[in-house]
Amino acid sequence: QAERLAQALASLNEAQRAAVEHGVGAAIAAPDERPLLVIAGAGSGKTSTLAHRVASLIAGGVDPQRLLLLTFSRRAAQEMERRAGRVLAQVLGLKSEAPPALPWAGTFHGIGARLLREYAPQIGLDENFTIHDRGDAEDLMGLVRHELGLSSTVNRFPRKGTCLSIYSRCVNTRAPLADVLKEAFPWCDEWEAELKKLFGAYVEAKQRQNVLDYDDLLLYWAEMAAEPALAAHIGARFDHVLVDEYQDTNLLQASILLALKPDGRGVTVVGDDAQSIYSFRGATVRNILDFPSQFTQPARVVTLERNYRSTQPILDVSNRVIAQAAERHAKTLWTDKPSAGKPLLVLVPDEAGQARWVADKVLAHREGGLALKSQAVLFRTSSHSAALELELARRNIPFVKFGGLKFLEASHVKDLLAVLRFAQNPRGRMAGFRVTQLIPGIGPATSARLLDAMEQAADPAQAVREFVPPSAARAQWADFAKAYEALREPALKWPADVELAMDWYLPHLERLYEDTSGVRRADVEQLARLAAGYASRERFLTELTLDPPEATSDRPGPPLLDEDYLILSTIHSAKGQEWNSVHVLNVVDGCLPADVAQSAQELEEERRLLYVAMTRARDHLHLLVPQRFHVTQQAARGDRHLYANRTRFIADADLEGFEQQTWPPPPERPPAVPPPSSVIDLRNRMRAAWR
């Protein structure tokens, strides 16, 4: 096996191997093993190093149950499982690539939810808590605000979305409200006292209803980890804690890591400060910069500079974009990958022209043997791809879009999920309200009366059964009560719940969405198929809320898995991935940097975004610069076109790194032929007609 291990690691460079082998050998990290930080540029193999490390640890005898692997998305966790599995199969000499299940691989939020359910009795939570996504959280905030009489229409109190953002920032940065207001929301400063009251009431409402929002998953976890007894218990379950994309973690996440492993033993984090793009959500690059000295032992720091992803011309232009950044670990990437020429900087007249150019290029690449799947189109904001989506649909080029409208945002999907949530947590008022409002003849006041009754009752299903609805709703009510009771039946075996919920819901769907019920039904059925892949109702609801599937049948996609399709993605969602050919749309001031970015810090983050986008490309990189682009302004001001300039992040001096193109090429003018000198005065003829 040792030989096979050496073989599996043979392709790694020296620095990568050092990181992979750090402390590997003993099943349990040695007491003096230092925490490990791999800080390195894009495409230098951080994620693959982590995968190799996971494989080596398991090959060395570490129980996969005892590996906590934290990634940026669930997709990334699955990818890690796949990559580690491939290496492990090689090391163990297995024929088939059966990946080792990594039961504790997931996002901070997902793992947090699981641990909180497990330790619920120890921290005063009810394990059946519901998780509120951003939309639910906003609605609840709005409701509480309304109950406190703090309406935005009457006294210009901040809107519910703003309130939630302020609250969320307080939680994620662990900063006092006054500081957050001063720094990030100065126009809400006058409302400090009211906001404080609002947030207090919001927290109480969540507890009454047994719900946690996204931020709570980290906050409760961090608070739980701050209890020495619990921290020791949880910390002892994992020999190794490994984190990818560490530059995008926030203070709460860092504090969790520190509390679980105060001496840093068995802790590995990898990241790139130049790719930090989530500070708008409270992530801080300080985490990665402070890591070396946070634990009781200093960390070992490994840097990687060799890039295996991109060609040198792509690296050259990317390096120049990031070289101007104000604050960063200096690193210059290099590669010896053969080059396919310079990246293109393409001037197009407008977004329609941009769409046409991209579609042409994508098809040309496919002719040349490049599958659609190895090509991607990236953009700053989801709405930037609208023109391209039309063009692709027109030409029958299949595509899947990431980071756009989510499956879960479709109202029929929300309805069905609400039924399941309400069955799981009878105190969850958002779900309860949504479900009971589906029943004809039930108004908001009746719903509220029912939810109050359920809150008091020992057996919620009984409260439903005994509830007296308005007489018009009686028959429908009996139906619902029966379904609800069946769903609350303890012996019910997942995913039978979904069948029950669908049986009750589908007639309502037909009635509510008459003309679109066909596609919606297909979505709901897809949800049922998805559900079968999860171990339990809790896992299904949790993971779906935290990491929702991306597409709905509101639009053409998603194609089947084995089909070929082009990837459309926001830059944020493209993190960590790579494609042979990458197009970046709207590389103009106002889009990248976005015009909402005002402060120097925000602008720096926009620069890093462009860097992330460019470094996704393996062989071909195309930056598109429409001369005019379309902005949809606030409703009142209407739409308009703006003349655009190339992004300020690419200076004139950097242009030599690109091959510049203008499309369509300027028309060749035919030589001008002078008109014959005057032949006849037509006016005479007009007058003559009436003579």
Binding-site positions: 40-47
Residue type, 595: D
- The answer for residues whose C-beta is within 8 angstroms of residue 488's C-beta and 6 or more apart is 423, 426, 460, 461
SS3 label, residue 482: helix
Residue span binding Mg ion (CB under 5 A) among the ranges 44-52, 485-493, 532-540, 658-666? 44-52
Q: Which of 9, 33, 37, 45 binds ligand ATP (CB under 6 A)?
A: 45
Nearest Cα residue to 351 out of 373, 370, 372, 377: 377
Residue type, 625: V
CB of 313 to ligand ATP, least distance (A): 17
* CB-CB contact of 323 with 294 (8 Å): no
Tokens of 65: 């149950």
Q: Which of 13, 78, 90, 162 binds ligand ATP (CB under 6 A)?
A: 13
Asked if 354 touches ligand ATP (CB under 6 A), the answer is: no
Question: Nearest residue by C-beta to ligand ATP?
Answer: 45
- The answer for residues whose C-beta is within 8 angstroms of residue 554's C-beta and 6 or more apart is 405, 410, 519
Q: Which of 39, 42, 222, 435 binds ligand ATP (CB under 6 A)?
A: 42
CB of 47 to Mg ion, least distance (A): 3
Report the b/e string of 71-103 with b at 16+ CB within 10 A.
Answer: bbbbbbbebbbebbbbbbbbbbeeeeeebbebe
Q: Which does 216 bind (CB under 5 to 8 A by kind): Mg ion, ligand ATP, none?
A: none
Asked if 168 touches ligand ATP (CB under 6 A), the answer is: no
If the CB atoms of residues 212 and 617 are measured against ligand ATP, the closer one turns out to be 617
Asked if 85 touches ligand ATP (CB under 6 A), the answer is: no
CB of 342 to ligand ATP, least distance (A): 21
User: What distances in angstroms separate CA 312 from CA 309, 319, 372, 445, one per listed residue?
Assistant: 10, 10, 24, 66
- The answer for residues whose C-beta is within 8 angstroms of residue 616's C-beta and 6 or more apart is 376, 378, 574, 577, 578, 579, 582
Considering only residues 565 through 584, tell me which ones interact with Mg ion, judged by CB under 5 A: 576
Q: Which residues participate in the annotated binding site for ATP?
A: 40-47
Q: In DSSP terms, which residues pair with 581 in a beta bridge? A: 375, 620
Asked if 412 touches ligand ATP (CB under 6 A), the answer is: no
Considering only residues 268 through 287, tell me which ones interact with ligand ATP, judged by CB under 6 A: 272, 275
Asked if 308 touches ligand ATP (CB under 6 A), the answer is: yes
Judged on CB neighbours under 10 Å (0-12, 13-18, 19+), 453 is: middle
Asked if 16 touches ligand ATP (CB under 6 A), the answer is: yes
* CB-CB contact of 505 with 524 (8 Å): yes
Q: Which does 239 bind (CB under 5 to 8 A by kind): Mg ion, ligand ATP, none?
A: none
Tokens of 342: 């310079």
Tokens of 572: 């944020």
Asked if 506 touches ligand ATP (CB under 6 A), the answer is: no
Q: Which of 20, 23, 44, 62 binds ligand ATP (CB under 6 A)?
A: 44
Residue span binding ligand ATP (CB under 6 A) among the ranges 45-53, 124-132, 325-333, 337-345? 45-53
* CB-CB contact of 596 with 427 (8 Å): no
Size of the site for Mg ion (CB under 5 A): 3
Asked if 460 touches ligand ATP (CB under 6 A), the answer is: no
* CB-CB contact of 214 with 240 (8 Å): no
Asked if 47 touches Mg ion (CB under 5 A), the answer is: yes
Rounded to whole angstroms, how far apart are CA atoms 399 and 482?
43
CB of 44 to ligand ATP, least distance (A): 4
CB of 244 to ligand ATP, least distance (A): 7
- The answer for residues whose C-beta is within 8 angstroms of residue 362's C-beta and 6 or more apart is 372, 375, 377, 397, 566, 581, 583
Q: Which does 337 bind (CB under 5 to 8 A by kind): Mg ion, ligand ATP, none?
A: none
Q: Which does 16 bind (CB under 5 to 8 A by kind): ligand ATP, Mg ion, none?
A: ligand ATP
If the CB atoms of residues 13 and 381 are measured against ligand ATP, the closer one turns out to be 13
Q: Which of 169, 309, 414, 608 binds ligand ATP (CB under 6 A)?
A: 309
Q: What is the 3-state secondary structure (H, E, C) of 137-200?
A: HHHHHHHHHHHCCCCHHHHCCCCHHHHHHHHHHHHHHCCCHHHHHHHHCHHHHHHHHHHHHHHH
If the CB atoms of residues 224 and 304 are measured against ligand ATP, the closer one turns out to be 304
CB of 314 to Mg ion, least distance (A): 17
Asked if 48 touches ligand ATP (CB under 6 A), the answer is: yes
Q: Which residues bind to Mg ion, rule: CB under 5 A?
A: 46-47, 576
Q: Which residues bind to ligand ATP, rule: CB under 6 A?
A: 11-13, 16, 40, 42-48, 272, 275, 308-309, 576, 578
